[in-house]
Amino acid sequence: MSGVKRAVSLGTVISALILSGCLSGGGGGGNSKPAPAPSEPLTEQQKRIQDGFFVIDESQLPFDALGDAYAGTSRWHGVLNGAGYRVEVPENWNGMLVMYAHGYRGEVPDLTVDNPPMRQYLLDNGYAWAASSYSSNFYDVRTGVEDTNALALAFNDIAEQNGRSLPEPDKIYITGVSMGGHIAGAAIERETQQTANNFVPYAGAAPMCGVMGDTELFNYFGAYSLALFEFAGVGADAFPIPADEVPGKLEAAREALWVDYDANPNANGLTAAGAPFYATLQNLSGGPRPIYPLSFGGFQGLLQSLAGDNGTIKGILNEPVIDTTGITYRFQTLPGEPLSSAEQGFNNTIVQAVPAADANALRDDGLRLIPKVNGDLYADIPVVTVHTLGDLFVPIKMQQIYRQRMEENGWGDNLVQRAVRAPSHCDFSIAEFNSTLDAMLTWEQDGVKPAGDDLLDAELMADPAFGCTFTQDGFPQEGVRAFMPACPEV
């Protein structure tokens, strides 16, 4: 390709938003091969799958037309290799298919499918879409990639079985949110092309609010907990932190770093001892930027709930993968500046999380257990991402890591990134979903590279107006966006 009272109430809103969450055969020119049996001991996740822990309520798979104007679309649903699916093809199909990958479902057994938030845009422009429930939950990106790709490869068989004979798609694209963004990013990697049991040659990708740093997200979670306890004077002696020690350490941290955590966990509720922690989290999550001050409090409960993680990502791996040895904690200086003496002391004292060797190694039975997003594309295709500035669950740091990796691998010109002034995780307006996907599709089809934001320019990101260019306030985010500082009038 060429190329604060207000904060108290907002924190409550953000917390609620976070907790609410985010066949076989032909089509598309990809490849599918039987998965060989793993040569290593089964992980807890593989045992859950083997034991039939995950279930599909097939009565929940059918879905209605968007309205009378869309009554003529073909809408199909079913189960493919243990994963529920939905497929929709407009009457005036343009010959192109967009795969949608949903986000993290938690640790529940029930498998469910989402319609893409850009569904109307897709139908209005003639695109078919398809979405999988995946055949498992938890943070199982490996299964998400394989099941999404298998569904894309089965598109024509599904159409034929439902009485509509269609030609193979001219092009297949992929988009997704949160963990689905990780799936979309991993699906277009050279390593995926080489190791996946189901591979699709996607023509472009639009990962949104995605975990584009793969396991770096869990390093961030680990660093959060270690820093929280260190600033509170109850630093960990080892990592993983023993589960029976976590409640006491959390109580001590809330007492030391907040005036009254339960009443006000936001930035304006911190004690003097909490100020360095606030600055540290800002730098861990992507650096000084607008919206962070408003989102800080709303994520504390969620991030603190992860403090007892043993590093296997709830049994996705057999050994701990969390690694904080490459993290530098800063609360008085910015990246590129010499550490202050206080920062040097803090970094010398804090316990480091050291991963097990080969915890997420290449395998002989398909993708890694947590697929990599190396920033090494399988082909010369466009990628457009979008991320909210206030997200502290999957912070915008993930996008900065992705940019660095793409640049290092010579694919920097293939990536456009955009920032949106919103305080939570994936809380985009429909207009923002649509415009991000449209930018990628237009770029791929017309060859005109869209505009984006520079997420590696620290000075630019710290500007109070940063993120205004691609923020499009509107449904369904009108309420929360009213709390955001206004962009300057042009």
DSSP secondary structure, 339-401, as one string = PPHHHHHHHHHS----PPTTTT---SSSS-SS----S-BSSS--EEEEEETT-TTTTTHHHHH
DSSP 410-443: T-GGGEEEEEE--SSSS---HHHHHHHHHHHHHH
Give the chain's largest Cα–Cα span. 71
Query: Where does 246-336 have alpha helices with state H?
Result: 246-257, 275-285, 292-295, 300-304
Q: Which residues contact 73 (CB under 8 A, 6 or more apart)?
A: 65, 88, 89, 90, 91, 123
Return per-residue pLDDT of the chain as tens, 490 residues.
Answer: 544 333 334 554 455 555 444 533 334 456 766 555 556 799 999 999 999 999 999 999 999 999 999 999 999 999 999 999 999 999 999 999 999 999 999 999 999 999 999 999 999 999 999 999 999 999 999 999 999 999 999 999 999 999 999 999 999 999 999 999 999 999 999 999 999 999 999 999 999 999 999 999 999 999 999 999 999 999 999 999 999 999 999 999 999 999 999 999 999 999 999 999 999 999 999 999 999 999 999 999 999 999 999 999 999 999 999 999 999 999 999 988 999 999 999 999 999 999 999 999 999 999 999 999 999 999 999 999 999 999 999 999 999 999 999 999 999 999 999 999 999 999 999 999 999 999 999 999 999 999 999 999 999 999 999 999 999 999 999 999 999 999 987 6
CA dihedral (257, 260, 264, 269) positive or negative: negative
| 325 exposure class (CB count in 10 Å sphere: 0-12, 13-18, 19+) | exposed
- C-alpha 75/C-alpha 87 separation (Å) is 6
Q: Residue 131 belongs to what H/E stretch?
A: strand 128-132
CA distances from 361 to 59, 129, 267, 358, 414 (A): 39, 33, 39, 5, 27
Structure tokens at 12: 């409550």
Question: Residue for token digits 């466009």?
Answer: 382
Per DSSP, the residues of 210-250 read --TTTTHHHHHHHHHHHHHHHHTT---SSSSPPGGGHHHHH
Cα torsion 439, 461, 400, 357 to 10°: value is: -160
If we measure between CA atoms, which residue out of 333, 328, 316, 335 comes closest to residue 352?
328
Query: Distance between CA atoms of 282 and 296, rounded to whole angstroms?
Result: 9
Please give the structure tokens belonging to residue 447.
């060859």
> How many residues are recorded in the chain?
490
Structure confidence at residue 21 (pLDDT): 47
Q: How many CB atoms are located within 10 Å of the residue 452 CB?
A: 18
What is the per-residue pLDDT for 30? 66
pTM: 0.93
**pLDDT, position 489:** 76
